[in-house]
Amino acid sequence: MATATTTPSRRSQAPRDDGTRKRSFVPYALLLPAVIILLFGMGYPVIWQFYISFHKYGALQQLGGKPPEFVWFDNFVAVATNPEFWAVAIRSVLFCVITAAVTVAVGILLALLMKKVSAAARLVLQISLLLAWAMPVVAAMTVWIWLFDRRRGVVNYLLDKIPGVDMNQYNWIGGAPIVFFAVASIIVVWMSVPFVAFSVYAGLTQVSDEVIEATELDGAGGGQRLRYIYLPMLRPVIAIVLLLNLIWDLRVFAQITMLQDAGPQSTEYDLLGTYIYKLGVGGLNFGQGAAMSIFVLALTIALSWFYVRSLLKEDEA
């Protein structure tokens, strides 16, 4: 097992060694465009975001009525002492952890299914997953909102058909916040499962048939094979897709905004993305908005730190 995970990394290190030995200039030149794009695309806005977060920066400053006034950490203090913000932050972290975990679990199951079924069935499955993955967010959201519509939604229609279940006019989107977030979570999972399924499936195809044959000879059942062979071998893949999904789900914005447009506007239905937009852009408080987004940046780094470190360790091993 250990050999299987370390071989690829060793192979990938090999060319790097060659490069340094020749003291070639080329790798650095090749890196340069990416670094420049990153600096201009990300560096500049991030620096300005820090600048704004230390200033009183509202409509007056933005429209040129008054120069921005340096206020030290006032914006950060205002954000940190705002209980509403903390409620939103905790809600966001819960949402992202649960949604990412469900996404990865469903993705692994689909990948295993793809490995098991016949070629024709696999093709159908892959095409459907690809279509879901390629669907533009706005188009997908429009359909999802119709599905969950209170009055004419298919979901209520079908559930209502079940004897003894009264789901007529049940308000999925504008009802209790917990139901709203469950719907949002289902949609986000639907949108991100294909990526996980394909990545894990690619990982599965790397597990050599000899190993599986050996386990069969040793009499291991499906469950044991999954637990002792597949999952350990897939660990690096699973770790990276989980990390990516955690980051994506923490900064989820479009799905929540569109669900809110379909009804609830109250802060109880906000996650960090929509809350920052509401307060910073809608509320014309750019200073506090910037301070909050710096917090989210820190949160993202903190959440992913553990994973990045373990990934680095794995690379070193």
Exposure string (b/e) for 165-197, b if CB count within 10 Å is 16 or more? eeeeebbbbbeeeeebbebbbbbbbbbbbbbbb
Question: How would you class 313 by CB atoms within 10 Å of its CB: exposed for 0-12, middle for 13-18, buried for 19 or more?
Answer: exposed
Query: Is 198:134 a contact under the CB 8 Å cutoff?
Result: no
User: Closest CB to other proteins among 174 and 236?
Assistant: 174
Closest distance of CB 77 from other proteins, Å: 14
Shortest reach from residue 160's CB to other proteins, in Å: 15
Which residues bind to other proteins, rule: CB under 8 A? 41-42, 44-49, 51-52, 57-68, 150-151, 171, 173-175, 251-253, 261, 263-267, 272-273, 276-286, 289-290, 293, 296
Q: Which is nearer to other proteins, 115 or 150 (CB)?
A: 150
What is d(CA 258, CA 281) in angstroms, rounded to the nearest whole number?
17
Sign of torsion, CA 239 244 246 249?
Answer: negative
User: Least CB distance from residue 65 to other proteins, whole Å?
Assistant: 4
Q: Which of 94, 123 has the CB closer to other proteins?
A: 94
C-beta of 52 vs 197, nearer to other proteins: 52
When the beta carbons of 140 and 237 are compared against other proteins, the nearer one is 140
List the one residue out of 202, 176, 200, 180 whose CA is nearest residue 103: 200
Rg (CA), the chain: 24
Residues 98, 181: Cα–Cα separation, whole Å: 11
Minimum Å gap between C-beta 50 and other proteins is: 9
Please say which residue, 136 or 223, places its beta carbon nearer to other proteins: 136
Q: Nearest distance from residue 307's CB to other proteins, in Å?
A: 19
Q: How far is the CB of 18 from other proteins (least distance, A)?
A: 36
